[in-house]
Structure 1
Amino acid sequence: MLEEYEFILSLKLLEFEIRQITSYTSAFPKCYTMLKNKLDDLSDFIYKEENIQNWPLWQSNIEVQELSRNVREASIRALRVLEKYQAGHGEKDEIQQSKYMDLLSDSVRSEVACLQIVQQSKVLFIGSGAFPVSALIIAQVTGAEVVGQDLDQEAVELAEQAAAMSDRINRVSFTHQPLKELAFVQEATHIIVASHVANKQEVLEDLRQLASSRVKISIRYGNGLKSLFNYTWPEGNHLPGWTQSRASTVSQLYDTVILEKAMQMKEV
């Protein structure tokens, strides 16, 4: 019982500290380093073996569920704030060196191999953010054409600045157009939905109508402890017209489910 209370207290402290440090960044830029370190602490908390083992025992606790949602909202907001700062300050800022970025880079490379993205591929990344690490790594590793989409216009403008420092800028572009107005959706061979996109089901419904019958869709998500830093995906989620396969490893910051239209699978 004591361990459970300690876990609950840890969640409360994480939420409080992340929210407070995020608010401090507007007054004192040095607090961005504090924020980066606190998000790294959250990553360590998610990977802590003791927490992983105990989560099944405590996940049904109503207070744990509420605190987990609060930590997720605080951490996702903090990451967006941090990304905008990083994108606006270029490679000179030491803040870019973080455990989170290292883990994300490894996860993206693993995802590229799993999805079999090659130079001829056309990749749409939904929820690319202001500091588009995933989009840039995909372009750099594969040479594929990549379009990052985000509804936040400021994030798109900052992502373009970050991409300008990359040697793959001609293969990467960004837009804040809604999916229904974006012609590239129909051209895409691969579509990746970021784990920080909350309305995944709505996005998937749009893609059902707009995307090619041969597209591969990777939905990033995080359940269990990973839900502290990612929006969830229902276990056993039945999606008529889609085939699903899991592609996840313990080392990743997020898990992924790969969707393909059932028509495509019948043709193979």
Structure 2
Amino acid sequence: MNSQAEVIPYELPAWTEAAHDDRAVHFRRSLMQFRDQFAQLLNRYPTSAQHSMELDAVIDAYTAFVTNTDHELLWTELMQPSSVAEELTKLAAELRASSSLCVGIAEKYRALKLLSGHTEGSDYFHHVEASIGEPFGSFPLTSDSTVIWIGSGAFPMTALFLARQTGATIIGIDIDAEAISLGRKVVERLGAGLDIRLELAPAEQLPEIGKATHLIFSSTVPEKFELLDQLHACTGRQIVAAVRYGNGLKSLFNYPMAAVDERKWRLAEHVSRSGRVFDLALYQQA
């Protein structure tokens, strides 16, 4: 993840169609406030422990906002075809990008805290950890499984959980060198004896890609469906790909589901998680 990506401010024009609805006005103002907070937090990294606490507080508030069922109903109502929906779509794209970058930064702070002897977490990370569960639904891992996790980040909690629970081999990759460096130190601290490796490399260049049994795509990887398409050629028929995503209100925090080439991949299973920050789609080769 590139924490230095620029977030371009976007100003919503005054609404007319929903101005009569106090809930809609409050909803819009909340999104704009989150947008501004994320932009400020991105511009201040890296700084201090105080900044880390502020970042966690904003991410936790955003998590609560995105997983609120009343907000989901209002989002559905506001996203009916109209100029309001068009403007919300643009704002959602910016929030999705900036919040994903902020999560990457929060993972780095969490790793640094762990390495300095502090272990407190945030509500967002508790949501993610609670959502790990059985990430492959009807296609469980065993000690013979090899998992490639795309977008492993600086605090590879999924890798640690899965390796500890199943004995599987976990290979995490990321495009962020700082995240890989911190993630390796976290694994050294928390995953002694576990078969986990973190690499700064594309998935297709891993020696294990052809024999891998499972793929995981982080919900904050923007191009995950493009990568899934590309990896069809170098993965085997045994592969099961778990794609974390978020549609509807959850798309404020996750890159949404996209169409796949049905000649390459078929949707084998779908796991919707009410009250969780992302959902899961499982694919097999067609």
TM-score of the aligned structures, taking structure 1 as reference length: 0.90
After superposition, where does 1:136-175 map in structure 2 within 5 Å? 136-175=160-199
The answer to whether the aligner puts 1:243 opposite 2:263 as a matched pair is no
Name the residue aligned to 1:93.
Answer: 118
Native 8 Å contact 1:88 1:161 kept in 2:
no
Match in the other structure for 2:74: 54
Counterpart position of 1:33: 53
Distance in 1 (alpha carbons) for counterparts of 2:239 and 2:47: 45
Summarize the alignment of residues 94-243 of structure 1 with structure 2, pairs less than 5 Å apart. 94=119, 96-112=120-136, 114-234=138-258, 237=260, 239-243=262-266
Show structure 2 runs of 5+ residues with no match: 1-20
User: Which deviations, in whole Å up to 9, do the C-alpha atoms of 1:190-236 show, x marking residues without a partner?
Assistant: 111111111123211221001111111111111111111111113x6
Corresponding residue of 1:266: none
* Contact 2:229–2:261, Cα closer than 8 Å, also in 1: no
The whole-number CA distance in structure 2 between the counterparts of 1:168 and 1:144 is 14
Number of matched pairs:
260
Q: Do the aligned partners of 2:96 and 2:251 also contact (CA within 8 Å) in 1?
A: yes
Higher deviation after alignment, 241-250 or 172-181:
241-250
User: 1:25 offset after TM fit, Å?
Assistant: 4.5
Higher mean C-alpha deviation, range 171-180 or range 111-120: 111-120
Report the secondary structure of 2:134's partner residue: helix
TM-aligned CA deviation for residue 110 of structure 1 = 3.3
Alpha-carbon displacement from aligned partner over 1:44-102 (angstroms, at most 9, x marks no partner): 001222101111111241221111111111111111111112223326235x4211111
Stretches of structure 1 that go unaligned for 5 or more consecutive residues are 263-268
Contact kept, 8 Å, 1:163 with 1:169, in 2: the verdict is: no
Q: Give the Cα separation in 2 of the matches to 1:116 and 1:27.
A: 41
TM-superposition CA deviations, 1:107-157 (whole Å, max 9, x none) = 111325543112221111011111111111111121111000112222111
